[in-house]
Amino acid sequence: MNEKNKKRVPRKITLIESILLLIVFVIIMIWTALIAKAPTAMGVLYCAVVCGVYGVYLGHGWDDLFSNVYKVAQTAMPALYFLMLTGFVSAAWIASGTIPYMIYLGLGIIKPTIFLFSAFLMTAAAAMVTGTSWGILTSLGLALGGIATGLGIPLPMAAGAIVSGCFLGDKWSPLSDTPNLAAASTGQNIIKLFTSMIPTAGGGAVIAGIIYLVMGFMLPQSGGASIGEITALRDGLAASFDFNILLLIPIVFVFVFAALKYPALPVLFIGVILGMGEAMIFQGVGFKEITGIVWTGYKSATGNVVIDSLLSRGGCMSLAGLVMLLFAAFTFAGLLEKIGVLDTIMEKLLNRVKSQGALVLCNVLTSMATVLLSSSVYVSIILNGRMYDKAYRKMGLDKVCLSRTLSEGAAHYGGLVPWSGGGVLVISTLGVLPWSYVPFAFAAWAGTLLTVIFAYMNIFMPKAEYDENLELVDEGIAA
């Protein structure tokens, strides 16, 4: 069988086949979610099965197909380790009192009217300083989610503001891998990329901030938590944990060492150890008990329904389903990449692009689609950067325009797609339903829309001069 597969020459997939397959995938995902009401992972697995079978029909051998699955899965291992660590982090920091203490402080300081705006700014600033959206989401984001519950803020709205801030700060941080990849894949300086993003990501941040402020001042009219309810929550937390300023040591440690550009995984692991130590020292939890907590999750039994539902979470085993979702997503992505569905569609699209506005629009749409189908921001940036490089040069555009479009079309959406690493983390950390928070991630939508609008208006689109071989002659020419 293997020898037979090696001799077969696979046929290149056609445009019609690629489009029909995409339609089938969409139908499968909709059917799984809305009709079967099955887990998202099952829909992704069904798509992977269809993709694999069609790959065999095209002439690909099983060994060839799955060798690409293994290659893509290797890129998922850091995300899987990170995801498992976040389960440890949330359980250890709740048991230690770190997260409850932050919620306690936040309920006393942050007012419901400015919560969304404050959450957006705080997470954006923290992610920009540390360069890790995931780290901020699982620490500061988790605490802010608890504060939102205490203040009576609808969780999808709060999650939208938190995700907007985390991923906005991440894509504008020189310490983050995402903007560095977007710059490197097009041969650009990262500072030049950040400067070019001021009108798009910067403009989107301003728009998002204004919307969050307006929404915040409208929230009391729809019923926020009363002062009495907030006081009861704070009193309940204070009665259940021994609060002191030293409980902030784990989160301060993670922030500082992430900002100093130490690797995220060992920093988070030490943060878990610090949390476990503080749980034993300050909360009287035994070593055997805290070991079980970080594995299976923290179970709150204060008697207060809100507090118990808020704090009963975390643990490595609570993420087992989400880990399986990631495995399913990367299996699907590996098969999809191997049979060339996205490559075929992109090639045909580029042949029809006649204006810079249409070029940027196509670039944004295919970047978003690649994240949606491959579940990876990295795959999207690398693939689209390679596919669109020549087209941008033909249009006489500085390649920083390509870097910016890759960033605006892919980076934020890693936190919005439920089966991507970032999306899985959002769902597990904040406890929101898939897609429920997506409409409230205004910084993502605004930045993307401004990128396309400016391209059609031909403003903030620096030009460059190329010779007949499309080699750079002069760059940075004003639009």
Residues 165-177 have pLDDT tens digits of: 999 998 888 767 7
The alpha carbon of 104 is separated from its chain's Cα centroid by a whole number of angstroms, namely 27
Q: Which amino acid is at 470?
A: L
Is pLDDT above 50 for 203?
yes
Q: Where do runs of H (alpha helix) occur along 13-130?
A: 15-30, 40-58, 62-96, 98-109, 115-130
Of 96, 163, 172, residue with least CA distance to 128? 172
Q: Which amino acid is at 165?
A: G
With a CB cutoff of 8 Å and minimum separation 6, the contacts of 269 are: 85, 88
How distant, in Å, are the alpha carbons of 315, 360, 443 from that of 419? 20, 26, 21
- Rounded distance between C-alpha atoms, residue 401 and residue 183, angstroms: 10
Q: Using pLDDT thresholds of 50, 70 and 90, give the confidence band for residue 16.
A: very high
Q: Using pLDDT thresholds of 50, 70 and 90, give the confidence band for residue 1.
A: very low
Of 185, 189, 156, 160, residue with least CA distance to 174? 189
Per-residue pLDDT tens digits for 338-390: 998 888 887 888 888 889 999 999 999 989 988 888 777 877 887 788 788 88
pLDDT at 12: 92
- Rounded distance between C-alpha atoms, residue 427 and residue 433, angstroms: 6
pLDDT at 52: 95
- DSSP label at residue 302: S
What are the boundaries of each domain within the chain?
77-176+194-318
Contact yes or no for 163/441 (Cβ under 8 A) = yes
Q: Using pLDDT thresholds of 50, 70 and 90, give the confidence band for residue 265.
A: confident
Contact yes or no for 129/221 (Cβ under 8 A) = no
Contact yes or no for 475/398 (Cβ under 8 A) = yes
Q: Where do runs of H (alpha helix) occur along 219-340?
A: 227-240, 249-259, 264-282, 287-296, 305-311, 320-339
At 162, list the tokens: 């938190």
Please state whether the predicted TM-score (pTM) of the whole model is above 0.85: no
- Rounded distance between C-alpha atoms, residue 365 and residue 384, angstroms: 10
Backbone angles phi, psi at 379, to 5 degrees: -60, -40
Of 387, 454, 449, 383, residue with least CA distance to 412? 449
Residues 425-449 as b or e (16 or more Cβ within 10 Å = b):
bbbbbbbbebebbbebbbbbbbbbb
